[in-house]
Amino acid sequence: MAGSGTAHLRSGDDILLSVNNLHVEFPASGGRTVFAVSGISFDIAKGETLGLVGESGCGKSTTGRAILQLPKPTQGTVTLNGEDLTGVSDSVMRERRTDIQMIFQDPISSLNPRRMIGDVVAEPLEVWGPKDKDEQWAKVSKMLDAVGIDPDVARYKRPHEFSGGQCQRISIARALVLEPELIICDEPVSALDVSVQAQILNLLEDLKAEYGLTLVFIAHDLAVVKNISDRVAVMYLGKMCELSESDELYEHPAHPYTRLLLESLPIPDPTVKIDDSVGIEGELPSPLSPPSGCRFRTRCPLADDICAAVEPMMRRVNDEHYVACHHPLVPVDEVGVSLR
């Protein structure tokens, strides 16, 4: 499943972010290397939401941080508005991050516990302006109000005085205060109750429409991703296996791994019999020594000799659906044209 290639990349003036052949590696003990992300490519059009999904440890969060050059990619390019961020200086990258903001997974620990909320949200403005305190508070107040937090009540309180859902709203306000073009949401609802998850997702959708935002939504819950994403990219062990429009992916998964993820989703009906046959067998391979060929082959029910010898490349299923698999569930011909 896990494959490479750039057949799925688009071109055009509406492409805000393009990631090409991204590699992120970390040194480990004994001179070994952790292959966290290995040659993934994708792009995002202005106003679009890309869902990035996969099991824990597949490289989703590392990809999001690598877009911000935290850490810098080992190899590959990250292009924002036509500018390659991997080639700019640290000072220039610091300025470019005003156009790319991140919402972190743990809303409480991402906020400084010693600072008041008014100062937390205003901190980016202290660096990038406006410097006038009244102007700063006007912007902070507007953003807190936009996310459903009373600015006058929150201004002099600290993060521990708010619930997890409220802290996540405050984190969103902080991300919005510089009016960025792109926001990377790193599992922003995974630590929240289901009812609060729905509130945050609805809030992101409303803010996206109001401020013209472009989102990267990282999650391991496919049900959550479906509701908010225009396109979905599925990752496994540092590689990308499938990319498609949201509805198409859920209706016609082309990769065995994607199908297994979808079949593993719980159905909220106590009368439905649990299918014990659904599941992925075997242990997740180590990123220190990933399998040859297709990285999913050690757990794939369709794997054969070619899967061990040859890494699959991205092939087109239809206009907006691509898969990296030697044995796709949806048939494609030799040039990648759908036969469905």
Name the CATH superfamily housing domain 15-99+180-323. P-loop containing nucleotide triphosphate hydrolases (3.40.50.300)
List average pLDDT for each run of 10 residues in the chain, which is 340 residues long: 75 93 95 95 96 92 95 95 95 95 89 95 93 94 94 96 93 94 92 83 91 93 86 95 94 93 77 64 85 93 94 90 93 51
Predicted local distance difference test score (pLDDT) of residue 190: 82
**Residue 276, pLDDT score:** 60
Phi, psi of 253 (to 5 degrees): -65, 135
Would you state the pLDDT for residue 95? 94
pLDDT for 280:
66
pLDDT of residue 319: 82
H or E stretch including 302?
none
**CA–CA separation, 4 vs 308, rounded Å?**
15
User: 332: which strand partners?
Assistant: 338
Question: Taking Cα atoms as reference points, which of 2, 4, 77 lies closest to residue 40?
Answer: 4
Please state, in angstroms and as integers, the Cα–Cα distance from residue 74 to each residue in 155, 214, 238, 316, following that order. Answer: 41, 25, 13, 28
Q: In a 10 Å sphere around its CB, with 0-12 CB exposed, 13-18 middle and 19+ buried, how is residue 250 labelled?
A: middle
Quick one: residue 187, left, alpha or beta (phi over 0 = left, psi -120 to 50 = alpha)?
A: left
The beta strand positions in the chain, using DSSP E, are 15-27, 33-45, 49-53, 75-80, 83-84, 100-103, 182-186, 214-219, 231-236, 239-245, 315-318, 321-323
Question: Could you tell me how many residues make up the chain?
Answer: 340
